[in-house]
A and B are shown apart, each in its own frame.
Chain A
Amino acid sequence: MPDSIRLEVTRYRPDTDSEPQRQEYDVPLRKEWTVLDGLNHVKNEVDTTLSFRWSCRMGICGSCGMNVDGEPKLTCATFLTDYAPGPVRVEPLANFPVVRDLVVDLFDFMERLPRVKPWIIRDDDVTEVDGEYLQTPEELDAYKQFSMCINCMLCYSACPVYGLDPTFIGPAAIALAERYDLDSRDHGARERLDVLIEHEGVWGCTFVGECTRVCPKHVDPAGAIQRYKLKAAKESVKAFLLPRGTR
């Protein structure tokens, strides 16, 4: 195994650069080092001006997503040795505007999240908490997969629909809506549907399926979207066939 590997890192400083550039750094190649460890080596020892997000270094906070050799990855869970002998291209997540170096702008997603109402909506208005809402392990299983999303944005970066049309509400947000719809404690499906059948909602998706492939937490957002389409289609057929009151 060679003892170093080259990182080709995208740099962009909004105050001085008109467009992103590429800079190369050689970092030690160690068995236990992730791409993030390589970047931190650069930051600490070589070039202190390199900027990127990270925090938990254990694949759970969702901060460190970047495109590694063109694929969206959590850099804290992607090992340098898998790219040996290199070089490794490290770029900001695709499809998002670049703020600085490897940092992208998540404004769109953060602004969109509340629109799918990702919280429990109840018909009854319980304000006093006494006793839990019962939920069997099977009922929990029904939505568990969709509750695993860490908002890492890898799926948005892999989605060509989002790349072409940034108003598309996107995979993770729809998966989250599905997560609450499937929760046995929730009664908000109707309200969420109203949002998701809009133009930028589920119908934007053409089922490329890349979101599911790149998701590090096996959330299967593509599946969530297709199920939503089915639900939306059923609703519109019902709306068409049945008189208002009986719906």
Chain B
Amino acid sequence: MTDMLDDDVTQAHVDLFSKFDPLIAMRRDLLATGVTDPFGLVMERVISPTVAVCNGRETILLGTYNYMGMTFDPDVIEAGKQALDDFGSGTTGSRVLNGTYAGHKAVEQALCDFYAMDHAMVFSTGYQANLGIISTIAGKGDYIVLDIDSHASIWDGCKMGDAEVVPFKHNDIEAMEKRLRRIPEGAGKLVVLEGVYSMLGDIAPLKEMIAVAKKYGAMVLVDEAHSMGFIGPNGRGVAEEQGCLDQVDFVIGTFSKSVGTVGGFCVSNHPKFEIMRLVCRPYVFTASLPPSVVATACTSIRKLMHAGDKRAHLWGNSRVLHKGLRDAGFQLGTEEPQSAIISVIMPDLERGAAMWEALLHEGLYVNLARPPATPANMTLLRCSLCAEHSAEQVQQIIGMFTRAGKAVGIIG
């Protein structure tokens, strides 16, 4: 047994924050160059899905993941107001206690209808959906095989559970197969993939990857956060587009992008899926979404089932922006537009931040992504298009990029 300290002795104080010193220094150096803090922007007023006021200036929004522009849809807003009146501002409880209202059941039914699946489970965020499902279904002795470029919520789900975690090189079918082949016989296997990878906006070869996963007896989870509503014949995502949705055991999605509110979900045809509601801790031990949120989500999801025109316009925007930026001389994340994300590769963090700020001064907001969140430690300006961006706005955006790119010296 160790001795207690004498009354007159104290040990040296260890500041738990010292581990953040390198990041604090990096931020200080960046801000010392005089650029606006790219992670401290405030939207003072929001005028529409594509325009807000930032620093007193009207700004075109090109980094919101509000793909289908549902945030100001009149039916969606009306449903939210009605639910506020009828059910109040919050549930103050867990889904498994006092937090399941009619609206939660209705939005789960809307998801079952949207995906044509038997079960849907709504979480308070998409982050929690990944955290909860992955950590709960893959347990001790099981193996999770996942793409190295997976979203933080997938990694955190792996970390929270007790399974063995085995990553493979991004979108590399052979690397994935090698790892599946080496897993001891009889072990449970979960392959985790994404439809669209949000850093570069590239899609996964899901059909081939899922076929391999199934050959090795694995279950498959696909995060379709960035494809809902506009990829696949019914907007069910990349797996539907590639004709392999029936092979996917679990689809994870979010309300925070195409649906235009907040929340997350998992849909599945697994016959025992409902047991998740009792064993999945990030579902049980947190309060459910407010009634207004599930009402807006439900209305939005049902409208997304019939949004063919919006979808076509969104794809048109994506193609025009991709071509415009490429012709202007920018280096992009994909050769062809594969999603509604167009990622512009910056030479380094300093010039990336300078470009981000120059765009903001032009009146354009994009996402700045920097290491270590990015693949290959790239600095990226991520543009996400909206079905509500007009053709003129897209041309304006190309003009802003061209002017800012020349000013910062990124293009000639």
Q: Are A and B genuine complex partners?
A: no
Interface residues of A (CB under 8 A from B): none
Interface residues of B (CB under 8 A from A): none
